[in-house]
């Protein structure tokens, strides 16, 4: 369950191995992903050449001269490049086989991921209403402050809402709020402009550090080289419920917020 840094790590890992490759065929062993893999997909990608890779939020993009593949890894998906066809494992649902016999293999035990064709990716139903990228200059304190006016939703839910900003999953939402000293249940509309500046700076720094470390490994995630990410050693809040706060030694609290595990320091985060 990749968050943005895991998706970006995957994109950077596969990029040199898929760019310029021509697709010979698409093998679909299990079409029952979050949405059924379209019957037309194999025909749509056949004989096309991948010109570039991209990412929008947690969606990974493979761009062709005309059209794109939109891949989401869900909670447990991963992509690996293989030099030639290997016997598939239980959850290896798709292979994108290239003309040189190398392939890109999609694996996803929980099948929460998806793959779609789009003539124009930015207009695809799943992507067209997404908020800005966290590293985009339009994602600033003015923007967040304006969007948050009148909103009573907890700030943690607010920043995890992909219509507000993309790419912030549960782990990094916990970390960003901890490092910003903001209580996860605080109403989004009751946060000052100044605190949004701090929050945005922390979101960016944490995501950058996680990408540099190759993502966070919990259970399922492996980079495309099969190497785990190393960011989990830097987590200061997530997974530390009941343990002492690194800043003040108070016992970190663990609650449910937005139906997800949420850890915060009752003393540092207000």
Partner DNA sequence: AAAGACACCTGGGAGC
Partner DNA sequence: TGCTCCCAGGTGTCTT
Q: Is 3 a catalytic residue?
A: yes
Nearer to DNA, 66 or 219 (CB): 219
Contacts 24+ apart (CB under 8 A), 57-66: 57/4, 57/127, 57/130, 57/133, 57/162, 57/166, 57/167, 58/2, 58/3, 58/4, 58/7, 58/166, 58/167, 58/169, 59/7, 59/126, 59/127, 60/7, 60/10, 60/11, 61/121, 62/18, 63/121, 66/119
- Chosen residue from 11, 17, 55, 72 binding DNA by CB under 7 A: 72
- 9 or 53, CB closer to DNA? 9
The reply to whether 58 belongs to the active site is: yes
Binder of DNA out of 38, 44, 162, 251 (CB under 7 A): 162
Cα–Cα–Cα angle for 232, 234, 238, rounded to 5 degrees: 65
Q: How many Cα atoms sit within 13 Å of 39 on the Cβ side?
A: 0
Quick note: the x/- pattern for DNA over 1-30, rule CB under 7 A, is: xxx--x------------------------
**Shortest distance, CB of residue 18 to DNA, whole angstroms?**
21
Nearest CA to 181 out of 126, 245, 259 is that of: 245
Closer residue to DNA (CB): 2 or 134: 2
User: Cβ of residue 160: shortest distance to DNA, in angstroms?
Assistant: 7
Nearer to DNA by Cβ, of 95 and 175: the residue is 175
Whose tokens are 């064709």? That residue is 117
Q: What gap in Å lies between CA 60 and CA 53, rounded to an integer?
A: 8
Q: Does residue number 48 form part of the binding site for DNA (CB under 7 A)?
A: no
Count of residues engaged in binding DNA, rule: CB under 7 A: 43
Q: Which of 11, 21, 55, 58 is catalytic?
A: 58
**Catalytic residue list:** 2-3, 58, 260
Contact residues for DNA (CB under 7 A)?
1-3, 6, 32, 34, 57-59, 72, 74-76, 90-91, 109-112, 126, 150-154, 157, 160, 162, 169-171, 188, 215-221, 258-261
């Amino acid at each position: 369950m990749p968050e943005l840094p895991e998706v970006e790590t995957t994109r950077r890992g596969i990029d040199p191995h898929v760019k310029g490759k021509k697709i010979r065929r698409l093998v679909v062993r299990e079409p029952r992903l979050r949405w059924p893999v379209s019957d037309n997909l194999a025909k749509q990608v056949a004989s096309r050449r991948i010109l570039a890779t991209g990412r929008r939020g947690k969606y990974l993009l493979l761009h062709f001269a005309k059209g794109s593949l939109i891949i989401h890894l869900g909670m447990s998906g991963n992509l690996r490049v293989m030099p030639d066809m290997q016997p598939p494992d239980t959850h290896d649902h798709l292979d994108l086989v290239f003309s040189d016999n190398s392939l890109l293999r999609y694996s996803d035990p929980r099948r929460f991921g998806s793959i779609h064709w789009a003539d124009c990716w930015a207009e695809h139903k799943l992507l067209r209403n997404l908020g800005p990228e966290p590293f985009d200059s339009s994602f600033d304190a003015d923007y967040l402050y304006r969007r948050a006016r009148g909103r009573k939703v907890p700030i943690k839910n607010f920043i995890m809402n992909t219509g507000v900003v993309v790419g912030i999953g549960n782990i990094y939402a916990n970390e960003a709020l901890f490092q910003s000293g903001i209580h996860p249940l605080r109403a989004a509309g009751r946060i000052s402009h100044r605190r949004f500046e701090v929050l945005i700076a922390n979101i960016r720094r944490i995501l950058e550090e996680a990408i540099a470390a190759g993502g966070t490994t919990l259970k399922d995630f492996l980079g495309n080289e099969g190497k785990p990410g190393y960011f989990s050693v830097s987590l200061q809040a997530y997974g530390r419920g009941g343990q002492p706060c690194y800043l003040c030694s108070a016992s970190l609290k663990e609650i449910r917020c937005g139906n997800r595990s949420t850890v915060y320091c009752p003393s540092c985060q207000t």
